[in-house]
Structure 1
Amino acid sequence: MKNFGVIFLGILFLVILKGKSTKGEDEFVRVRGVQLMLKGRPFYGNGFNAYWLMYEGSDPSERGKVSSAFQQASSHGLSIARTWAFSDGGYRPLQSSPGSYNEQMFQGLDFVVAEAKKYGIKLVVSFVNNYKDFGGKQQYVEWAKSHGQSLSNEDDFYTNPVVKGFYKNHIKTVLNRVNTITGVAYKNDPTIMAWELMNEPRCTSDPSGKTLQGWIAEMASYVKSIDGNHLLEVGLEGFYGDSTPEKKQHNPNTFQTGTDFIAHNQLPGIDFATVHSYPDQWLNNPSGEAQLSFVKQWVNQHIEDSQSILKKPVLFAEFGKSYKVSGYTQRDRDELYNIIYSAMYSSASSGGPASGGLFWHLLTKGMDNFRDGYEIILDESDSIVGIISAQAQRMSKLRRMYGSLGKRSGNRGRVIGN
């Protein structure tokens, strides 16, 4: 009888433990087919970019801006924020040199994650920049050169073993970081929806895309070896490459970025695709009408390819229109948002792969130094705020509508890596 009692208690303990584990896992965003899933329901997110969150969060006197951004976003129905987990060298770095981290900056990121959780906002977090801003791949190459490596091109970031070692160490450090506010390691925190390998990776020294293909495969495998909870995406803008030469006609102008939207996103370690859209930067002085025509085609083509070829969800992770670019009109900006949002909703409402759109970028009042012409301030009286809020409401309503269907199916999707 004693043995029976011990066995019974052991089984009861395991059942309780399993119940707790399942409850925790349900908080992670997952993938099922071409849809993102959360708690057994399709997850449709309307959201924003705010690259500055860690920077402002690292200064206790400025943290109110982080809280204000999340509060305003939440009150307007926004549910996803994309931000940086990098600042390499330079002023107020997160990583001052390879493996050397600024604890104050890291605590700023801790605050960001904790506040996002408080306001019910999921995070997409990027590991490094393609550009020189906040250090980026060029800083990694410079660090390697100071360690005796003979490098001549910033694209050596993708192939040099020393540089790749520095980058992998950064990934490991971020994933294993234990939040000083919540006590939860980043790799175990469901507030984070996904990791991003790089913000807008490009490799112009190899237009074929093969260099990036190898790097993405290697780094995706490395991330998943440490973190089996979270989704992973590349950070691509959406340019077509050599794997589908017939689709290059959809690229703006004659861009040669060394990227391949189809091939890169087909890699098994990549869970969903991303697309950016900046026709006012990408096209050569076109009319507002031409920009809008491009956007409509660009968005619809990537949704179609995500559905039929990739068979994965797609997130429109950056888009906007700057009032600082010649020919700008508020009407054209509003229409650009409407085109993207309508395509998102149309796809989502039919069970398609479009999972949401994240505009570039959100600020709060008192952040004039961060204005770049694309910024949106939600507590300003502006027609675009109404458009953003309306999209958030209808995407949220769509999620609720599918809720009962998700429960009846009993399919809760899969936790990537488990």
Structure 2
Amino acid sequence: MLCPFMTIQHSFLPLVLLAFLTTACSRSTLPLSQTSRSLTKHGYGHNHDHDLRNTPITRTGSTLFLGTAQWYAVGPNVYWLGLDENVIPTPSSAPFYAPFNASYPSKGRVTEIMATVQALGGTMVRAHTLGVSTGNPLSIWPALGEVNEEAFESVDWAVAQARAYGIRLLVPLTDNYDYYHGGKYNFLRWAGFNLTQTANSSSPLVQQFYTNKTIIASFKEYIHTLLTHVNRYTNLTYAEDPTIFAYESGNELGGPVFGDMDVSVDWVREIGSYVKQLAPEKLFVDGTYGVNKTHFVVGEVDLFSDHFYPINVTKLEDDLDLVASADKAYFAGEFDWVGSTDGGTTSDGDSLAEWFSIIEKSPVTAGDAFWSLFGHDVPNCNVSPVDPNQSVVIIVIRGRENVQTDRQTD
């Protein structure tokens, strides 16, 4: 069956490329051997003497490198690659947890995403559920210390497909919120703190996640489970595979007051040190929601990050000035563009084009990731079309991807 269009939501994809990306759902999952052959001529294939996929991303000061070439982390957020909440799977016998609408994404959907990112010039994907997977029956850790090997299947496939297409991954390790894929509230509840985000997000007890030794030990045990897992498709542990170029301490981490950036320096140091111990070649991202300058003393942090809802030029400039003083790299981990008008300007007058221009000119910026990208509902090929009113904004974002690709090939 031929799918008429790509399914795109919050994407950098210009409308004129939709026809180019028409694809047969039944053939959207390519064998690893086939994708590897197609990539050999680009320096990514298994037969190349210097397989860039086996080369880790490194940092010197504010600059990231792939080998000796400067590298930028540019692409989408795709949060559902390891565990989804958007599709009721077929057949009906497929794993499904109705309370969270949770299921494992089909291989075709995952492959299609990687092919799309590669075709559009992206270099990376920020992927929450390749790392955040706790607290429901389909999670990697359904309960404290309980490993669900079946849950690794979809994560393994996503990592392997990213590798096959030459796409790198940035993976958060937990979440500030109580979403379907899990987060810090799971660890709090497992330690006996009966807290939920809905009822208790402003409770001082949420800080136990960063200070309670038992909870920290449990979180590190989970990280160990994740990073030492051997991928069934690549025969590499997640710690070994350079496809995952960075682990992030968490998604939008903070304390009892939204935006307070109240994350313990000692906690950031301990988690960063543990990740580096297990995976010395990985970069480590401070997942605090905002740039907390008290964390500049943590040597294990390679990148500081912030999210933009909506885009905010002043906030971006302030972030960049702070990170420049620390000689670290900056990554805009999420940004919203659908709140912009046709000309790419927010209601506060901030221009998306200006926001991108600041990022492109800053020597501190290592990359950015928009929110977010979807593909087809394989095998049903259901369509969620782009809002034509956003066409100008899409073209601006597409131009951003081209600029960054050109910068790292100069």
TM-score, normalised to structure 1, is: 0.71
**Is the 8 Å Cα contact of residues 284 and 303 (structure 2) preserved in structure 1?**
yes
User: Which of 113, 117, 120 pairs up with 1:76?
Assistant: 120
Equivalent residue for 2:395?
386
User: 1:200/1:376 Cα in 2 relative to 1: closer, same or farther (>3 Å)?
Assistant: farther
Equivalent residue for 1:47?
75
CA RMSD of aligned residues (A): 3.3
User: Which of 141, 146, 151 pairs up with 1:105?
Assistant: 151
User: 1:234/1:378 Cα in 2 relative to 1: closer, same or farther (>3 Å)?
Assistant: farther
User: 1:197/1:152 Cα in 2 relative to 1: closer, same or farther (>3 Å)?
Assistant: same
Q: Distance in 1 between matches of 2:268 and 2:137?
A: 29
The answer on 1:86 being equivalent to 2:101 is no
Amino acid at match of 1:142: R
Amino acid at match of 1:341: F
Q: Distance in 1 between matches of 2:144 and 2:389?
A: 41
Which blocks of at least 5 consecutive residues in structure 2 are unaligned?
1-47, 90-94, 96-102, 195-202, 379-383
The answer on 1:320 being equivalent to 2:316 is no
Q: Distance in 2 between matches of 1:397 and 1:378?
A: 28
TM-score, normalised to structure 2, is: 0.72
- Mean Cα deviation higher: 213-222 or 198-207: 198-207
1:53 alignment partner, SS class: coil
User: Which of 319, 332, 344 pairs up with 1:302?
Assistant: 319
Equivalent residue for 1:141?
188
Q: Distance in 2 between matches of 1:212 and 1:136?
A: 17
Amino acid at match of 1:141: L
1:90: how far off?
2.7
**Is the 8 Å Cα contact of residues 234 and 273 (structure 1) preserved in structure 2?**
yes
Aligned length: 329
Q: Distance in 1 between matches of 2:53 and 2:76?
A: 25
User: Which of 271, 275, 299 pairs up with 1:268?
Assistant: 299
CA displacement 1:34-54 (0-9 Å, x = unmatched): 101111111123211111010
1:365: how far off?
3.4
User: 1:102/1:340 Cα in 2 relative to 1: closer, same or farther (>3 Å)?
Assistant: farther
1:267: how far off?
0.9
- Mean Cα deviation higher: 203-212 or 60-69: 203-212
CA displacement 1:68-103 (0-9 Å, x = unmatched): 111111111111101121221135222111121222
The answer on 1:341 being equivalent to 2:356 is yes
Amino acid at match of 1:29: I
Structure whose alpha-carbon radius of gyration is higher = 1
User: 1:74/1:132 Cα in 2 relative to 1: closer, same or farther (>3 Å)?
Assistant: same
**Is the 8 Å Cα contact of residues 378 and 385 (structure 1) preserved in structure 2?**
no
- Mean Cα deviation higher: 297-306 or 197-206: 197-206
Structure with greater helix percent? 1
Equivalent residue for 1:156?
208
CA displacement 1:262-315 (0-9 Å, x = unmatched): 121441010111121113xxxxxxxxxxxx6xx1111122222222x1111111
User: 1:319/1:29 Cα in 2 relative to 1: closer, same or farther (>3 Å)?
Assistant: same
1:181 alignment partner, SS class: coil
1:207: how far off?
9.6
**Is the 8 Å Cα contact of residues 265 and 273 (structure 1) preserved in structure 2?**
no
Aligned pairs for 1:283-302 within 5 A:
295-302=312-319
**Is the 8 Å Cα contact of residues 364 and 377 (structure 1) preserved in structure 2?**
no
**Is the 8 Å Cα contact of residues 361 and 376 (structure 1) preserved in structure 2?**
no
Equivalent residue for 2:230?
178
Amino acid at match of 1:179: N
Q: Distance in 2 between matches of 1:138 and 1:358?
A: 26
1:192: how far off?
0.7
Q: Among the aligned pairs, what percent are the same residue?
A: 24
